[in-house]
Chains A and B, each alone.
Chain A
Amino acid sequence: QSALTQPVSVSGSPGQSITISCTGSSSDVGSYNLVSWYQQQPGKAPILMIYDVNKRASGVSNRFSGSKSGSTASLTISGLQAEDEADYYCCSFTKTLTYVFGTGTKVTVL
């Protein structure tokens, strides 16, 4: 199972909005609304941010939102803040009953 494709890095100034894409195939993202997003700070375990494409996990700011079109899912962070600087990974359930993560995106707040 090949990893889902994400941009290596995305950056923005405080207060701006950024979007991270996550491209899969008809075997994963394109077939299920079961995409989740995880935030990982350096040296820490990942934290669930978004599940089922667009549902926010408990305690997650409403500045984070998710969407999907075809085989590409997206995570948007609005009102970018310094604390949002981290790595972000998408993850999808697949037709083989397994899971596949994305390649990861480093978000930098300028």
Chain B
Amino acid sequence: QAQVVQSGAEVKKPGASVKVSCTASGYTFNRYHMHWVRQAPGQRLEWMGIIKAGGGIRIYAQNLQDRVTMTMDMSTSTVYMELSSLTADDTAVYYCARELPDTYQFDLWGQGTLVTVSS
């Protein structure tokens, strides 16, 4: 069945970067957009951005656009999210979530990746 599996938990120091992966299987990878959503401990979901099917178009949340980069490797059906200049406020669970183009819904989510930023 369709699934997206994310990389494991990370611990980073302030100022460092983190790169989280999201590998798809069980469906046609290049027909779907992929979003990234994060959730700080005890807090709400926060949309981070989208990399559209094919990887050519990316749209980032305004508050993150200077620090976030989303990329796609079609050969491995994997999407990556890299966040730089980390601070304690970036400590969160990061999720990838699939969207069939022009449906505006996230119908399949990864299991989440905990990123902890601590000195």
> Using a CB–CB distance below 8 Å, which chain A residues touch chain B?
1, 3, 32, 34, 36, 38, 40, 45-48, 51-52, 57, 89, 91, 93, 96-104
A36 touches B45 (CB 8 A): no
B62 touches A1 (CB 8 A): yes
Q: A101 CA to B54 CA in the complex, in Å?
A: 25
Report chain B residues within 8 Å CB of A40.
Answer: 45
Write out, one digit per residue, whether chain B residues 81-105 have a CB within 8 A of any chain A CB (1) or not (0).
0000000000000010100000111
Chain B interface residue count, Cβ-Cβ cutoff 8 angstroms = 21
A-B contact pairs, 6 of them (CB 8 A): A45-B111, A51-B104, A51-B107, A52-B104, A89-B45, A102-B44
Q: A38 CA to B109 CA in the complex, in Å?
A: 11
Report chain A residues within 8 Å CB of B45.
Answer: 38, 40, 46, 89, 91, 101, 104
Given A1-B61, A52-B104, A93-B104, A45 and B95 touching (CB < 8 A)?
A: yes
User: Quick one: closest B residue to A3, CB to CB?
Assistant: B44
User: Quick one: closest B residue to A51, CB to CB?
Assistant: B105
> Using a CB–CB distance below 8 Å, which chain B residues touch chain A?
35, 37, 44-47, 50, 59, 61-62, 95, 97, 103-107, 109-112
Q: A103 CA to B40 CA in the complex, in Å?
A: 12
Shortest beta-carbon distance, B92 to chain A, in Å? 13
Please name 5 further chain A to chain B contacts, defined as beta carbons within 8 Å, in addition to the given A36-B104, A45-B109, A91-B47, sorted by A numbering.
A36-B105, A89-B45, A100-B47, A101-B46, A104-B45
Q: A1 CA to B49 CA in the complex, in Å?
A: 13
Given A46-B45, A104-B45, A98 and B106 touching (CB < 8 A)?
A: no
B44 touches A47 (CB 8 A): no
Given A45-B95, A52-B105, A89 and B59 touching (CB < 8 A)?
A: no
Report chain A residues within 8 Å CB of B97.
Answer: 46
Central interface residue in B44, B105, B111, by most chain A CB within 10 Å: B105
Shortest beta-carbon distance, A10 to chain B, in Å? 16
Shortest beta-carbon distance, A14 to chain B, in Å? 27
Among candidates A1, A51, A100, residue contacting B103 with C-beta atoms closer than 8 Å: A51
Given A1-B61, A36-B104, A52-B104, A47 and B109 touching (CB < 8 A)?
A: yes
